[in-house]
Chains A and B, each alone.
Chain A
């Protein structure tokens, strides 16, 4: 079974549209961390956010916002007023604290295309 599921393989939007990237995770641990990374065409992983399982408060950072809901095991990412520079592959990841030296489980990624 997949630990992290990103059901949207690819999304295309027009600049200035809002877009939400979905992430559903699975774990039996009560303590864990969730992450979002951006991977531009150059290939590096750019850290966007970390959230621990005890902090369900939604977070906003500029045009980015994250909605963490433990009840549905989801950690969705919304980009408001998308821009062409947002075009990239976005990965959600899970780290289960206290075991396996915190290896990351990545989702399969969502490719976001923002057209001008």
Chain B
């Protein structure tokens, strides 16, 4: 069964550093999402992406965040200058056209020290 993959599974970085979280959505999917889950809290929407542009972003998704689909298969989330409060699990998800089920990746645990 096709699945969404994410790399790395765990990333440790120092405050102020840039990080790029990578996702490979399911190949025929057209809608892509990033969600964030701070430890012990609920999963929160960050951004949705369709047709090579952001379709919606939450208040959390400020200028420090950006997303890109650089090569037609990868979908990346970049945090330019990480803060301690960016420590969280980041989930990527994708959806096919005309369906309403999002397939979630296994997550990347980001730890900012």
Question: Which A residues are within 8 Å of any B CB, using their own CB?
Answer: 33, 35, 37, 43-45, 47, 50, 52, 91, 93, 95, 97, 100-109
Contact = CB atoms under 8 A, between A and B. Distances in A.
Contacts, number: 59
Contacts of A44: 104, 106-107
B43 A104 contact: yes
A100 B43 CA distance: 17
Interface of B: 31, 33, 35, 41-45, 48, 50, 55-56, 89, 91, 93, 95, 100-104, 106-107, 109
A102 B91 contact: no
B111 to A, nearest CB: 13
Contacts of A100: 48, 55-56
Contact of B101 (A50, A103, A106): A50
Interface of B is mostly: strand
29 contacts: A33-B100, A43-B106, A43-B107, A43-B109, A45-B43, A45-B91, A45-B104, A91-B43, A95-B100, A95-B102, A97-B100, A100-B56, A101-B31, A101-B33, A101-B48, A101-B50, A101-B55, A101-B56, A101-B95, A102-B31, A102-B102, A103-B33, A104-B33, A104-B43, A104-B45, A106-B42, A106-B43, A107-B42, A108-B41
Given A104-B33, A106-B42, 4 more contacts: A43-B109, A100-B56, A102-B31, A106-B44
Nearest to B101: A50
A45 B41 CA distance: 14
Contacts of A101: 31, 33, 48, 50, 55-56, 95
